[in-house]
Amino acid sequence: MTFAKPLALLVALLVPVASSAAELTIFAAASLKTALDEAAEVYQTETAVNLRLSYAGSSALARQISFGAPTDIFISANIGWMDHLEAEGLLVPDTRTDLLGNSLVLIAPKGQTAGDIPTLVQNAERIAMALVDAVPAGIYGKTALTDLNLWETAAPKVVQADNVRAALALVALGEAPLGVVYGTDALAEPKVTIVAQFPPHSHTAIRYPAALIDGRDTQEGRAFLTWLGQDAAKDIFSKHGFTPLRDE
């Protein structure tokens, strides 16, 4: 009696079939998570392209890319870290584009009333912010508070977090009575409320540039970047409070 054929059949059934679906790895600023997760779900359904999304502070992601982390697309929360990668020759030429805009706000736990920025900063015991010298939201926040002559008052109270979503969580959990985040972050968290908005002139314009990473120039990557500037994606980002900047 021979078991060769049944054994061969069993082995064939146990060996996984390789997937032919295309896959893209996206490094994106933490503040994009809610909107980009939704956009990615729509795109994957339409195209069958698998999107692997990795979120963190733009500074941390840019450093990972500099050190050779394999990613196809980077979406930063400010132009500075994208400039850094471009200067290192790590972007595919002519693929960089400003994708989105945002606003900067002060938040407090749900139920707090709005007020003027100087009074809110003066009265707060702690202020949650992303890293003020590295993460875009923290950099924008420090710039805005400095412009309003409030940084010396705020600085001793600042509790720094690794990224803007971590700062958001500190306020949502009641660990800090005040926080500086993007307007889109406040919309994504029902446990906080916007108590003031920073004037646009108090900080540089908030821009989210996107680009393909050197060595990962693919048809799938270019197609996804193009889609991010089209109406379906714009509608999703707008719903979450972003300002689409591309006109495709």
Residues placed in the known binding site for molybdate: 31, 58, 137, 164, 182
Which regions of 23-145 does DSSP assign to beta strands (E)? Answer: 23-29, 50-56, 73-75, 97-101, 104-109, 127-130
Helix (H) / strand (E) element for 179: namely strand 178-182
Q: How many CB atoms lie within 10 A of CB 78?
A: 22
Cβ pair 75, 28 in contact under 8 A:
yes
Residue 148 one-letter amino acid = L
Residue 191, C-beta contacts closer than 8 angstroms, at least 6 positions apart: 109, 110, 171, 172, 173
Binding-site positions read 31, 58, 137, 164, 182
Q: Is 221 helix (H, G, I), strand (E, B) or coil?
A: helix
* Torsion angle defined by CA atoms of residues 163, 168, 170 and 175, in that order, rounded to the nearest 10 degrees: 150
Smallest CA-to-CA distance from 60 within 164, 125, 156, 134 is with 134
